[in-house]
Amino acid sequence: MNTSSGIHLPSYTEQSELVKNRFDQLKQRPKVLEVKSASRVFSTPKGDVHALDNISFNVHRREFISVIGQSGCGKSTLIRILAGLESVTSGQVLLDGKQIDGPGPDRGMVFQGYTLFPWLTVKKNVMFGMKMRGESGTSAESEAMQWLDIVGLTRFANAYPHELSGGMKQRVAIARALANQPRILLMDEPFGALDAQTRAQMQAYLLEIWKNVDVTVLFITHDLDEAIYLSDRVLVLGANPSCVQEVIEVPVPHPRGPEQFISPEFLSVKQRLEELIYKPASEQKRVVIPRMTAVGDDVY
């Protein structure tokens, strides 16, 4: 396979040897999360809606796995089930071998929207979970300051959320989620509302945090570049019905950097994801819009 630029892109099959040893080692790690034949059906006046249909996959300790797919394929339903905010209609979802049956401190959650408590300072937002589980104020404050140092916001400890930028708010949200020392960090499009520059900075922050903190990450995103850049593996959900279409091992080596966005390995994985998610132009439904401009006033 060759591109017009002359760069050789190894096919997905050709890359198998590049990733074999790395992922053989990863699979030797304990399974933190096991999803077994999980389905979720919603009953509506118009009939049953299968949000998830027979979903199965595993996530290993300290793995970073992203979930992508077309809008409406069940990504948010899946992460809400993992967080304990929804239940499965059938199948099992296990964390460290135990059935998930509700929210718990063993799972941290970061949403796309800014979910900080506006009446609490940055420091007290991070302290909140620790205080709820009974830690003393002194201990919780000390730990909170350590987490703020990790996300680079120590000098904003006494600021309020409305005084922070979007990226800073999400860094506080990540610190608050990690302060409870969860087994897995669940992230539902956490950078989707950020501008491109801030988003890139947050991706770098997240990789640095993940490198230094004992946590497993499951990350929902629509952005193919983001999924490849951050992840060990990418789980692709199909739609109608929602199912696991493919699990792709990302051969881009660590540490990751912006220059890898144009590497042959990166581009090859992206091409495979595009094949799975986007329909060929010939299969897409053509949008018909009535003409509202003068004849001859063309822009193409």
> What rounded mean pLDDT belongs to the chain?
86
Domain ranges in the chain are: 1-106+183-190+200-279, 109-181
Q: What is the pLDDT of residue 45?
A: 86
**Does position 21 have pLDDT exceeding 90, yes or no?**
no
**Tens digit of each residue's pLDDT (9 = 90 or more) over 53-70:** 999 999 999 999 999 988
CATH number for the domain running over 1-106+183-190+200-279: 3.40.50.300
What pLDDT band is residue 280 in, cutting at 50, 70 and 90? Answer: low
Interatomic CA distance for residues 198 and 290, integer angstroms: 39
Q: Which two tokens stand for residue 189?
A: 């499009």
- The listed range with the strongest mean pLDDT (13-27, 83-97, 243-257, 273-287) is 83-97
Lowest mean pLDDT of 42-46, 92-96, 279-283, name the range: 279-283
- Residue ranges of E strands in 192-277: 216-220, 233-238, 243-249
Q: What is the pLDDT of residue 96?
A: 94
Of 220, 234, 219, 235, nearest to 184 (Cα)? Answer: 219
**Does position 6 have pLDDT exceeding 60, yes or no?**
no
**Tens digit of each residue's pLDDT (9 = 90 or more) over 25-48:** 777 889 999 999 999 998 888 888
Backbone angles phi, psi at 73, to 5 degrees: -85, -5
Interatomic CA distance for residues 298 and 275, integer angstroms: 32
Consecutive H or E run containing 98: strand 98-99
**Tens digit of each residue's pLDDT (9 = 90 or more) over 222-252:** 999 999 999 999 999 988 778 899 999 898 8
What pLDDT band is residue 20 in, cutting at 50, 70 and 90? Answer: low
**Tens digit of each residue's pLDDT (9 = 90 or more) over 165-222:** 999 999 999 999 999 899 999 999 999 888 999 999 999 989 999 988 999 999 999 9
**Tens digit of each residue's pLDDT (9 = 90 or more) over 132-167:** 887 887 889 999 999 999 888 999 999 999 999 999
In the predicted model, what is the mean pLDDT of residues 85-110? 93
Interatomic CA distance for residues 284 and 274, integer angstroms: 14
Please state the pTM of the whole predicted model: 0.85
Q: What are the start-end ranges of the H helices in 219-289?
A: 224-230, 264-277
